[in-house]
């Protein structure tokens, strides 16, 4: 057997069993990665097992249907028994696509190895691979080591799915505990870090998904919770019919915000402790993260002044609902949404709130780590931060034909950012209402309030740019899908619609072409006729932002 390592190193592997392989990895190979924070811990080695390795170590080429449902080998499998006889242990997840095999620590030194079983779909194509043309199963082990090695170097050592890794990166950058020396006795004891999430706190009913145990028996069967019963902070899913004036344009241009959730997390103040319930019509405080029950139906955005210009708000989605509809009454909102209503000049009068009093910019380091990883990877494909306008568009077009491994890496980094935010409110696997508590609820990082704050900040930040773009150039979107915005345009390029100053630079506060998170890239171009035909085929308006794709089929169609 051969082990293809980071940097082109190839090692001979004498181990003939999984227990021997684990011991060889810990004692001789000395693989792993240094900790990302001085109070954290070193990363465990990861071994990716190919089909040839499975055959050598007596593992099946594929899990049976029953094992796939369980997500692991049967407890009586010979390899599982080998591990037990050797004095090694498996986590409660057992021996599945991502298996963790360990011995008890020696003092403060962990003795643990992760096994990533490639033929068992450990590197899911939806996150790690190309969905349209999977490459990893046929990738040479040396290339696979380069791919995952660069991911480990720029993000962190993979811990399973990209979503799981995204969440683990938050913890690795903000460890909950540290060693603290007791001045009296001189002994080191465990202490909590002020800038971390350190405990499992009480949840708030309006912030949890429908299947959460707290809601058992609260509502009638098949009841759909209203905005006054549930915090519905989600990204935009909005589309409207084109006006006659907009149909006079030939094209529809879609621009996509780079890593929009990560960008929304940057600089965001979130709660680090449990909720405090405020009643009796509390005064809104933008410095307190949390959920507020407030009526924003009085906010009229039909005519809004941006500087010395007036924006037609009827052609924009409401910033307060994912579907872009005007609120109809009291509803729960995260702090960034209510703060935006205040920013627009409207009075708000909360009825009650659940806020967090210990706060911090918990996600800043996480954002910077992912930003740097993405920017470095795109630079490897020839797209650098110094490019703007047509140079940037040309570089992005060439990047599709650049190093395919770097393309996969960029996709994995984006999936890590998006999935990490989603993991903050991970739902039960079956999504069946009122099941017993699912494992995610035992995590300190199960924090739906933080996820809601990020999504709210992403949505209102997008609306802020929509307003400034409309004020600067009189152009309005016709569809938004999460972070993709569609504009009617006289020409096929984003440069034909995005506003610029007389000097040729983007108007401040509007969408700007570029590679950094928060900037936009060209997602695709279609004809206005294509959209009208689509509306006719589907019997009404559908979200065309989700149907304009990047790639060979994204050219201008007549």
| Residue 490 lies in domain | 237-263+362-432+448-554
Give backbone dihedrals phi and psi of 300, rounded to 5 degrees, phi first: -105, 110
Inter-residue contact 143 to 400 (CB < 8 Å): no
Helix axes 404-423, 141-154, angle to 10 degrees: 50
Q: How far apart are CA 35 and CA 295, in angstroms?
A: 46
Q: What tokens were used for 251?
A: 């094209």
Q: Are residues 229 and 349 in the same domain?
A: yes
Q: Are residues 383 and 480 in the same domain?
A: yes
pLDDT at res. 349: 97
Q: How far apart are CA 318 and CA 327, in angstroms?
A: 8
In-domain check, residue 64 = yes
Give backbone dihedrals phi and psi of 500, rounded to 5 degrees, phi first: -135, 155
How many domains are contained in the chain? 3
Residue ranges, the chain, pLDDT below 50: 431-435, 550-558
Dihedral (CA of 397, 402, 404, 406) sign: negative
At residue 468's C-alpha, the angle toward residues 548 and 239, to 5°, is 35
From the number of C-beta atoms within 10 Å of its C-beta (0-12, 13-18, 19+), residue 541 rates as: middle
Q: Are residues 353 and 370 in the same domain?
A: no
* Residue finishing a domain among 342, 360, 378: 360
Q: Are residues 348 and 394 in the same domain?
A: no
Q: Are residues 330 and 397 in the same domain?
A: no
pLDDT at res. 33: 84
DSSP state of 50: -
In-domain check, residue 22 = yes
In-domain check, residue 166 = no
pLDDT at res. 203: 93
Q: Are residues 529 and 407 in the same domain?
A: yes
Beta bridge partners of 354: 277, 291
Q: Are residues 387 and 244 in the same domain?
A: yes
In-domain check, residue 183 = no
Q: Are residues 536 and 398 in the same domain?
A: yes
Q: Are residues 24 and 70 in the same domain?
A: yes
pLDDT at res. 97: 95
Q: Are residues 387 and 340 in the same domain?
A: no
In-domain check, residue 342 = yes
Q: Are residues 280 and 216 in the same domain?
A: yes
pLDDT at res. 555: 36
* Residue finishing a domain among 343, 360, 377: 360
In-domain check, residue 111 = yes
Dihedral (CA of 323, 326, 332, 337) sign: positive
pLDDT at res. 135: 86
pLDDT at res. 433: 44
In-domain check, residue 177 = no
* Residue finishing a domain among 102, 129, 160: 160
In-domain check, residue 176 = no
pLDDT at res. 429: 61
Q: Are residues 372 and 520 in the same domain?
A: yes
């Amino acid at each position: 057997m051969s082990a293809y390592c980071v940097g082109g190193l190839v090692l001979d592997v004498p181990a003939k069993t999984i227990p021997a392989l684990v011991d060889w990895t810990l004692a001789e190979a000395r693989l792993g990665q240094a900790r990302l924070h001085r109070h954290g811990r070193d990363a465990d080695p990861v071994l990716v097992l190919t089909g040839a390795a499975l055959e050598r170590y007596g593992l099946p080429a594929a899990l049976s249907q029953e094992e796939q449902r369980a997500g692991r080998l049967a407890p009586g499998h010979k390899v599982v028994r080998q591990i037990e006889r050797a004095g090694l242990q498996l986590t409660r997840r057992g021996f599945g696509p991502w298996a963790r095999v360990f011995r008890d620590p020696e003092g403060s030194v962990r003795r643990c190895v992760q096994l990533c079983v490639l033929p068992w779909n450990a590197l899911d194509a939806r996150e790690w691979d190309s969905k349209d043309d999977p490459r990893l199963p046929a990738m040479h082990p040396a290339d696979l080591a380069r791919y995952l090695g660069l991911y480990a170097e720029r993000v962190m050592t993979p811990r399973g799915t990209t979503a799981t890794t995204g969440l683990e990166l938050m913890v690795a950058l903000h460890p909950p505990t540290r060693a603290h020396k007791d001045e009296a006795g001189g002994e080191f004891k465990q202490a909590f870090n002020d800038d971390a999430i350190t405990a499992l706190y009480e949840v708030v009913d309006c912030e949890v998904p429908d299947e959460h145990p707290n809601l058992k028996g609260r509502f009638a069967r098949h009841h759909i919770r209203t905005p006054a019963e549930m915090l519905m902070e989600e990204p935009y899913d909005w589309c409207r019919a084109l006006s006659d004036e907009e149909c006079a344009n030939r094209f529809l241009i879609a621009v996509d915000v780079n890593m929009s959730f990560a960008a929304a997390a940057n600089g965001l103040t979130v709660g680090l402790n449990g909720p405090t319930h405020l009643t009796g019509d509390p005064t809104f405080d933008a410095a307190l993260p949390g959920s507020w029950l407030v009526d924003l139906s009085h906010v009229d955005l039909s005519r809004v002044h941006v500087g010395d210009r007036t924006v037609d708000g009827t052609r924009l989605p409401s910033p307060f609902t994912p579907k872009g509809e005007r609120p109809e009454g009291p509803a729960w909102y995260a702090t960034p949404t209510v703060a935006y209503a205040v920013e627009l000049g409207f009075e708000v009068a909360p009825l009650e709130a659940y806020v967090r009093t210990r706060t911090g910019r918990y996600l800043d380091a996480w954002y910077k780590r992912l930003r740097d990883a993405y920017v470095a990877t795109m630079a490897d494909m020839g797209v650098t931060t110094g490019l703007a306008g047509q140079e940037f568009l040309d570089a992005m077009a060439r990047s599709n034909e650049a190093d395919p491994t770097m393309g996969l890496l960029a996709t994995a980094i984006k999936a890590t950012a998006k999935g990490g935010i989603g993991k903050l409110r991970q739902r039960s696997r079956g999504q069946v209402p009122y099941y017993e508590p699912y494992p995610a609820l035992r995590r300190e990082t199960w924090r739906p309030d933080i996820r809601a704050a990020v999504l709210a900040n992403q949505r209102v930040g997008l609306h802020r740019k929509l307003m400034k773009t409309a004020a600067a150039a009189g152009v309005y979107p016709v569809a938004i899908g999460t972070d993709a915005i569609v504009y009617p345009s006289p020409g096929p390029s984003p440069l034909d619609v995005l506003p610029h100053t007389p000097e040729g630079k983007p108007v401040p506060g509007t969408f700007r072409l570029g590679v950094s998170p928060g900037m936009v890239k060209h997602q695709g171009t279609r004809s206005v006729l294509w959209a009208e035909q689509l509306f006719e085929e589907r019997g009404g308006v559908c979200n065309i932002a989700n149907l304009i794709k990047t790639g060979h089929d994204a050219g201008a169609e007549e």
